[in-house]
Amino acid sequence: MRSTGVHHVDLVVSDLGRSLAFYREILGPLGWHGVLEQPGERGETICYVYGPGSTIGLRQAPDGAASLPVDRYRVGLHHLCLEAETKEALWETADRLGALSATITDGPREFPEYRPGYHALFFLDPDGIKLELVWTPLETYEFQKRSGPGRHAPSSWRRE
């Protein structure tokens, strides 16, 4: 399926093997079935876990950087949110996270303070990178109503 959204996001991790196993275990049941290895610009291996319309690249941190703590409030990534096809997938993912002794920071539950019908699960990957799995009813957001084949973004979003 061709996506017109985010194509890929690359994450730098402290242990590529550990992170690849974690992401495959958590994302595989959500439709992220493949892994493609690609050389990076510094000669490192990037493992792209691919799923419905996008990929997540995992890169080994260079020596010295692998032990630095993640800080979501420094310049960089705050968190990565992925969309689930069903609300039930949030609870199924929470069960898999529990079996891995992974840290769940909140949910799964509805977060009406974000938007009515917004259900999410927040958790940390092995390096402490915050991830979110979200499910919302169809057309919860205006952009969901206007995007897709033959539809256009609101005029306020378009360049003149």
Residue extents of the structural domains in the chain: 8-63+78-152
Give the pLDDT confidence score for residue 108 in this predicted structure. Answer: 98
pLDDT at 146: 56
- Which segments of the chain have a pLDDT < 70? 1-4, 143-160
The predicted pLDDT at position 156 comes to 52
Q: What pLDDT score does 160 carry?
A: 44
φ, ψ (nearest 5 deg) of residue 83: -100, 130
What's the pTM value of the predicted model, to 2 decimals? 0.83
pLDDT given at position 68: 83
- The domain at 8-63+78-152 falls in which architecture? Roll (3.10)
**Residue 102 DSSP one-character state:** P
pLDDT at residue 130, as a whole number: 97
